[in-house]
Amino acid sequence: MKKCVNEFAAVKTENDYVLAAEFDDGSVEITYERHRVDDSHVEVIQHRNRDRNGNYYTTRKIIESTIV
């Protein structure tokens, strides 16, 4: 299993925020994304969730933004 050695903001703007992770094998993967859909909604994408069997999956949801 890969081990994360560094996590960093790959994109950080008013409307978008993307976190990436660098692993011990040299690979880089996106782990978290947040994108403003409109003035009152934000899409949140969480990568690299893991179930009890060790399989990875991604969750995506639209939430109502509390930031105006």
pLDDT value, residue 30: 96
Burial 26-47, CB ≥16 within 10 A → b, else e: eeeeebbbbbbeeeeebeeeeb
Can you give the pLDDT at residue 67? 62
Q: Give the per-residue pLDDT at 1.
A: 76
| pLDDT digits 0-9 by tens, 6-50 | 999 999 999 999 999 999 999 999 999 999 999 899 999 999 999
Segment 45-65 mean pLDDT: 94
The verdict on pTM exceeding 0.75 is yes
* Residue 68 pLDDT > 80: no
